[in-house]
Chains A and B, each alone.
Chain A
Amino acid sequence: MSAEKMKGSKILLESLKKEGVTDIFGYPGGKVLHIYDDIYKSDIKHYLVRHEQAAAHAADGYARSTGKVGVCLATSGPGATNLVTGIATANMDSVPMVAFTGQVSSGDIGTDSFQEADIIGITMPVTKHNFLVKDVKDLALTIKKAFYIARTGRPGPVLVDLPVDVTVNKAIFNYPESIIIPSYKPTTKGSSRQIKNAIKMIREAKQPVVLAGGGVVSANASEELREFISLTKMPVSSTLLGLGAYPYNDYYSLQMPGMHGTAFSNFAIQEADLLISIGMRFDDRITGKLDTFAPNAKVIHIDIDPAEIGKCIATVLPIVGDAKEVLKEMNAYLKEESIEAKEPWLKIIEKLKLDYPLTYKMDKNAISPQYVLEVLNELTNGDAFYTTEVGTHQMWAAQYLNHTQPRHFISSGGLGTMGFGFPAAMGVQVANPGKTVINIAGDGSFQMNIQELSTVSYYNIPVKNIILNNQWLGMVRQWQELFFEERYSSTDLEGMQPDFVKVAEAYGVLGLRATKPAEVREVLKRALSHNGPVVVDIRVVREENVFPMVPAGGAIDKMIGERGSI
């Protein structure tokens, strides 16, 4: 054996290459200096963010838009803890990510040494798994495991903590081609017997509804879902994370269910006698009060994570497996023996869609946020990646954007992380050069990672930030208006805001503004055609609310503003 020993930091970079990683997002510091020295020599592209949280969100956006594992890197202590919100965001939304953190020297762990944090302990509840590497000899194998765990089964973030001595010490580099973890064997193929039973139930149902979630997107099962719907002719509703899995404006589409879903989706669910839920987890934002949810429906639950089945909703027929594989098998059976369209049910749905469309008021002098989204639909013709921050703008984006492709609507669903959209958009843009990437932002959220203007400016990452600026923390304001007798505690930002155009310009980014409906189209056109990052400050109607709305803990067919406005 003539193999030479390699420094740990180099092993890390070589391992990343073996995993096909081309881009990472990070921020240097004392305990990752050796790693950064090897990054300097490597052809892996490192994007220097301005806050570690943004590195995690960028890796997340990178992953969601491609299906590849996103990678971020931070130093020990505060660097690592700054990643936590981003890791928790990815965990809640099942996003494959590997986060590397520096750590104090293994001999110093536990001594409260400078910039030491127990990031393994801290991230245990917000990662799929995490590793502390204690010996450089284990480094390559651990990285292999981390990527394997992150991308297989129900995807999720994995953190690898690297004491500085592990990056300095040397070992022979030997990256395993494949790996078996005996205690970790996700089931991907659904039980054929259960699948046949499911088809029988679908055949017998009179009023079925399909609920498609993020699992359809992460399994790359959008094609299979579309075929499944064309074979079964059932109405299909997509959760926030499932948007784009099925064409949003198609005849069978019920659009989004739940708290700010369409009324026709919620009514259909409440009247359904069968729910076929695929890769979704009956989040409380979907179900409202559980006892009142879909009272007449039997549930077929298809999910790769057995723990999701029966967690919230009693399931008549569980199918544990990968959405793509299960749908493929279902489609194969359905092609042998077709199912007739449930015409009376489809007629009911048609009427619901006619009776309860999403609507909003247009004003000649004030810009409706929904209108901005409709103009974007027109200008991009659906061919754009969207990210969102969290709040009213996020819900309008979910409701009004025309979602036609999977992995094109990227939003923090489970954790609801303000400040997610902008850095996530950077990750999406890095992964999809040449594509249009638009971050729909609120004026509150945008300020949570506004420092990344420096990053997009430096690397010329041409993300378009569209701020639907109502000078409120709008979603909280809406709750205060509806449930707290208009006591607007700490939500009014009027007069407390920076001039977003000037802020953009200070970072060397194009800043634009629209204050009247007539200006919207031109301003957006200019933003989209600009070859570089943009911030568009769109002054929208201040007190616009998101409707329909199911009050928290209520039944989903008891909505405020069933038609999208009141």
Chain B
Amino acid sequence: MRHVLSVIVENKSGVLARVAGLFSRRGFNIDSLAVGATEKPEFSRITLVVTGEDLVIEQITKQLYKLIDTYKVTDLTAAKHIEREMILVKVSINANNRSEVIEIVDIFRGKIIDVSDKNMTVEITGDYEKNEGFLSLLKKFGIIEIVRTGTVAIQRGTGN
């Protein structure tokens, strides 16, 4: 099962290496990883998307907690949460299919940020399923390049 883990760590050099090293050392796969400072500058948040059985996720969580620089690990999957990922995608177009691509971009509320005779670059933001749906519709036109930020996520409501 796909899990989104939100990990609060000390905002200092080397912490990302510890987290990444832990995953490679223990043979865990990372589907995506996004990192940035939080509202408190002394902390960073690492949002990890990992796929695995519950026991594996439990082990990942415990191993993350074992890192001295880790404050909190939250598995957002079980809680109500919002996920977003931004994707920049460059797709081939021609005179015949250009309007069809624009239509799809509109439906998904994407933004066209660059366009030429032969290709178009689209910015899209959404959760995993929306983004995957969008990309699958673009496939037939010929995707030249995809750049993704990795998923970030936040819990719904006012609680922490």
Q: A residues bordering B, Cβ < 8 Å?
A: 120-121, 124-125, 128-129, 132, 149, 181-184, 305-307, 310-311
B25 at the interface (CB under 8 A from A): yes
Which of A124, A305, A311 is within 8 Å of B17, CB to CB? A124
CA–CA, A181 to B67, complex, Å? 12
Contact (Cβ within 8 A) B63 A183: no
Interface contacts beyond A128-B68, A307-B62, A307-B63: sample of 8 additional A-B pairs, CB < 8 Å, sorted by A:
A120-B14, A124-B14, A129-B68, A182-B71, A183-B10, A183-B68, A310-B59, A311-B59
Closest Cβ of chain A to B16, distance in Å, is: 11
CA–CA, A182 to B8, complex, Å? 12
Contact (Cβ within 8 A) A310 B21: no
Closest Cβ of chain A to B69, distance in Å, is: 6
CB under 8 Å from chain A, chain B span 5-54: 9-10, 14, 17-18, 21, 25
26 A-B pairs (CB sep. < 8 Å):
A120-B14, A121-B17, A124-B14, A124-B17, A124-B18, A124-B21, A125-B25, A128-B68, A129-B68, A132-B14, A149-B68, A181-B68, A182-B71, A183-B9, A183-B10, A183-B70, A183-B71, A184-B68, A305-B66, A306-B62, A307-B59, A307-B62, A307-B63, A307-B65, A310-B58, A311-B59
CA–CA, A121 to B13, complex, Å? 12
Name the CB-closest residue of A to B14: A120
B55 at the interface (CB under 8 A from A): yes
Task: Name the A residues within 8 Å of B14 (CB-CB).
Answer: 120, 124, 132
- What is the number of contacts between chain A and chain B, taking CB atoms within 8 Å? 33
Task: Name the B residues within 8 Å of A311 (CB-CB).
Answer: 59
Closest Cβ of chain A to B72, distance in Å, is: 8
CA–CA, A312 to B85, complex, Å? 35
Closest Cβ of chain A to B73, distance in Å, is: 11
CA–CA, A311 to B66, complex, Å? 14
Task: Name the A residues within 8 Å of B55 (CB-CB).
Answer: 310
Name the CB-closest residue of B to A307: B62
From B55, B63, B68, residue with most partner A Cβ within 10 Å? B68
CA–CA, A121 to B71, complex, Å? 21
Task: Name the B residues within 8 Å of A132 (CB-CB).
Answer: 14
Closest Cβ of chain A to B66, distance in Å, is: 5
Task: Name the B residues within 8 Å of A125 (CB-CB).
Answer: 21, 25
CA–CA, A310 to B63, complex, Å? 12
Task: Name the A residues within 8 Å of B9 (CB-CB).
Answer: 183
Closest Cβ of chain B to A155, distance in Å, is: 13
CA–CA, A307 to B56, complex, Å? 11
Name the CB-closest residue of B to A132: B14
Contact (Cβ within 8 A) B66 A307: yes
CA–CA, A228 to B18, complex, Å? 39
Task: Name the B residues within 8 Å of A128 (CB-CB).
Answer: 68
Task: Name the B residues within 8 Å of A184 (CB-CB).
Answer: 68
Task: Name the A residues within 8 Å of B17 (CB-CB).
Answer: 121, 124
CA–CA, A121 to B21, complex, Å? 9
Contact (Cβ within 8 A) A306 B65: yes
Task: Name the B residues within 8 Å of A149 (CB-CB).
Answer: 68
Closest Cβ of chain A to B160, distance in Å, is: 15
CA–CA, A132 to B18, complex, Å? 14
Task: Name the A residues within 8 Å of B21 (CB-CB).
Answer: 124-125
Task: Name the A residues within 8 Å of B71 (CB-CB).
Answer: 182-183
Closest Cβ of chain A to B157, distance in Å, is: 25
From A125, A149, A307, A311, residue with most partner B Cβ within 10 Å? A307
CA–CA, A124 to B101, complex, Å? 48
Task: Name the B residues within 8 Å of A305 (CB-CB).
Answer: 66
Closest Cβ of chain A to B53, distance in Å, is: 12
Closest Cβ of chain A to B102, distance in Å, is: 48
Closest Cβ of chain A to B41, distance in Å, is: 15
Closest Cβ of chain A to B23, distance in Å, is: 11
Task: Name the A residues within 8 Å of B69 (CB-CB).
Answer: 183
From A120, A184, A305, residue with most partner B Cβ within 10 Å? A184
Task: Name the A residues within 8 Å of B25 (CB-CB).
Answer: 125
CA–CA, A305 to B21, complex, Å? 20
Task: Name the A residues within 8 Å of B70 (CB-CB).
Answer: 183
Task: Name the B residues within 8 Å of A181 (CB-CB).
Answer: 68
Closest Cβ of chain A to B4, distance in Å, is: 21
Closest Cβ of chain B to A110, distance in Å, is: 12
CA–CA, A478 to B71, complex, Å? 48
Closest Cβ of chain B to A128, distance in Å, is: 7
Name the CB-closest residue of B to A125: B25
Name the CB-closest residue of B to A305: B66
